[in-house]
């Protein structure tokens, strides 16, 4: 295990996934839970020098008022996702992180997100002021905690999609838009990712927000020799889809329709009630089937907010397919899980793998991390099996190759 200290800066630090990841890391450090759901704790990574859980420090920003402990208590009260005993075991760890949760920006995030902002929230006058403050926070965190690396993870609420524009595609155009305070082509998520990469921090976009990881930001990462990856963590329905869809392909069974119905009750679900924000999520869920099957069956994904479910998510999928003699058959599955508890171990894995990539001098998009995302950038492999193979191949190369420190 590496004895280097690694920082994690979470955008959306008071959210459910953030609370679950920070509490989970503390429980793992105390040996009070098993690392279920974390691939980096499996035999695949044996002999790989990953950052140890007790060398990871957390910080971040949010636009809401509140405490991490309250977010975790909601997971405990609302859906029994975390037991009271475990909650008490990490109370102090969460209190310690408190002073490291700073005020973020919700510039051009849309009404649904802006309504979450604290009552005394004062937007900055210029985008450059937002960037300066964020970069300054990252530097302070790194210096005061004596960290080798700070991995920035975007876990903020899903923004509406960003319209295509030159600022989306090119770094020069993006920097012009920032200098001109052009709200039409830059969202808060863009300011965060721009700042993170400028600081040389590995960056993960776990959200479907398209403003967060644009071609312009990828260009900047090339210049700054910084690793980055996204978009949209693959934790539930799409994970199952990407494992099941290849089966139909490999058995030459034509999928006629694949309908998905999701209900969830957490704040993420509430934000996704807004049609603009929901369209970002539907977009990343949309592509998987046609990319695996090579054709587009009739397919729609519905997402509905059911407050009483809290963090519980239920996905029912109906798959109608055609077999021998034109017979029509069907497969149905129901996936039930705690949204944040499915996501948190992936976040911890991604932090460790990003820290490793950064230490090894790797930069740009990280195709070997495709299996963690619904819409992995720069990767043609969309079936889960192929994506996991990419990760296994990477691990093999790391084990064989010279290790740069």
Ligand X SMILES: NC(=O)c1ccc[n+]([C@@H]2O[C@H](COP(=O)([O-])OP(=O)(O)OC[C@H]3O[C@@H](n4cnc5c(N)ncnc54)[C@H](O)[C@@H]3O)[C@@H](O)[C@H]2O)c1
Q: What residues make contact with ligand X under the rule CB under 6 A?
A: 11-12, 14-18, 61-64, 104-106, 109, 113, 116, 155-158, 188, 206-207, 232-233, 235-236, 266-268, 339-340, 342-343
- Does residue 227 sit in helix, strand or coil? strand
Which residue number, 6 or 106, has a Cβ lying nearer to ligand X? 106
Which residue number, 63 or 395, has a Cβ lying nearer to ligand X? 63
Smallest distance, ligand X to C-beta of residue 259, A: 20
**Is 222:363 a contact under the CB 8 Å cutoff?**
yes
Which residue number, 232 or 362, has a Cβ lying nearer to ligand X? 232
Burial category of 35 from C-beta neighbours within 10 Å (exposed 0-12, middle 13-18, buried 19 and up): middle
Angle between helix 237-250 and 275-293 (nearest 10): 20
Which residue number, 186 or 398, has a Cβ lying nearer to ligand X? 186
Which residue number, 18 or 177, has a Cβ lying nearer to ligand X? 18
Q: How far, in Å, CA of 92 to CA of 197, rounded?
A: 32
Smallest distance, ligand X to C-beta of residue 90, A: 17
Which residue number, 24 or 233, has a Cβ lying nearer to ligand X? 233
Nearest to 113 by CA among 217, 212, 189: 189
**Is 113:277 a contact under the CB 8 Å cutoff?**
yes
Smallest distance, ligand X to C-beta of residue 281, A: 6
Smallest distance, ligand X to C-beta of residue 35, A: 18
Helix, strand, coil percentages in the chain from 3-state DSSP, rounded to 5: 50, 20, 35
* Tokens 């993420």 found at: 268
> 39: which 2 tokens?
């691939």
**Is 18:71 a contact under the CB 8 Å cutoff?**
yes
In this chain, which residue has its C-beta nearest to ligand X?
15
Q: What is the DSSP string of 69-98?
A: HHHHHHHHHHH--S-HHHHHHTHHHHHHHG
Smallest distance, ligand X to C-beta of residue 116, A: 5
Which residue number, 55 or 108, has a Cβ lying nearer to ligand X? 108
Smallest distance, ligand X to C-beta of residue 208, A: 6
Smallest distance, ligand X to C-beta of residue 217, A: 16
> 139: which 2 tokens?
């530097």
């Amino acid at each position: 295990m590496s004895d280097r200290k690694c920082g994690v800066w979470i955008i959306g630090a008071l959210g459910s996934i953030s609370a679950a990841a920070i509490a989970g890391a503390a429980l793992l450090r105390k040996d009070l839970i098993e690392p279920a759901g974390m691939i980096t704790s499996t035999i695949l990574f044996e002999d790989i020098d990953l950052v140890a859980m007790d060398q990871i420090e957390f910080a971040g920003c949010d636009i809401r008022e509140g405490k991490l402990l309250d977010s975790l208590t909601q997971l405990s009260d609302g859906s029994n996702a975390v037991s009271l005993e475990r909650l008490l075991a990490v109370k102090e760890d969460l209190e310690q992180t408190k002073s490291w949760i700073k005020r973020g920006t919700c510039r051009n995030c849309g009404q649904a997100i802006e309504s979450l902002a604290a009552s005394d929230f004062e937007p900055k006058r210029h985008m450059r002021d937002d960037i300066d403050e964020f970069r300054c926070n990252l530097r302070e965190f790194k210096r005061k905690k004596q960290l080798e690396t700070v991995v920035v993870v975007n876990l903020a609420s899903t923004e509406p999609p960003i319209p295509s524009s030159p600022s989306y595609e090119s770094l020069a155009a993006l920097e012009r838009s920032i200098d001109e305070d052009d709200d039409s082509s830059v969202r808060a998520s863009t300011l965060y990712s721009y700042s993170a990469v400028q600081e040389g921090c590995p960056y993960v976009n776990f959200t479907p927000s398209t403003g967060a990881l644009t071609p312009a930001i990828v260009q900047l990462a090339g210049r700054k020799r910084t690793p980055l990856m996204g978009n949209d963590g693959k934790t539930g329905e799409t994970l199952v889809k990407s494992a099941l869809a290849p089966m139909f392909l490999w058995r030459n069974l034509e999928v006629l329709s694949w309908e998905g119905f999701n209900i969830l009750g957490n704040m993420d679900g509430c934000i996704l009630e807004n049609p603009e924000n929901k369209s970002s999520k539907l977009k990343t869920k949309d592509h998987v089937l046609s990319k695996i099957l090579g054709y587009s069956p009739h397919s729609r994904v519905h997402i509905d907010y059911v407050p009483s479910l809290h963090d519980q998510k239920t996905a029912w999928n109906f798959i109608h397919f055609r077999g021998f003699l034109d017979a029509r058959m069907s497969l149905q599955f129901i996936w039930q899980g705690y949204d944040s508890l499915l996501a948190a171990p992936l976040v911890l894995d991604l932090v460790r793998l990003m820290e490793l990539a950064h230490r090894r001098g790797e930069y740009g998009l990280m195709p070997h991390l495709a299996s963690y995302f619904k819409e992995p950038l720069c990767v043609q492999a969309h079936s889960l099996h192929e994506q996991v193979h990419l990760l296994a191949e990477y691990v093999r190369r790391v084990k064989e190759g010279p290790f740069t420190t």
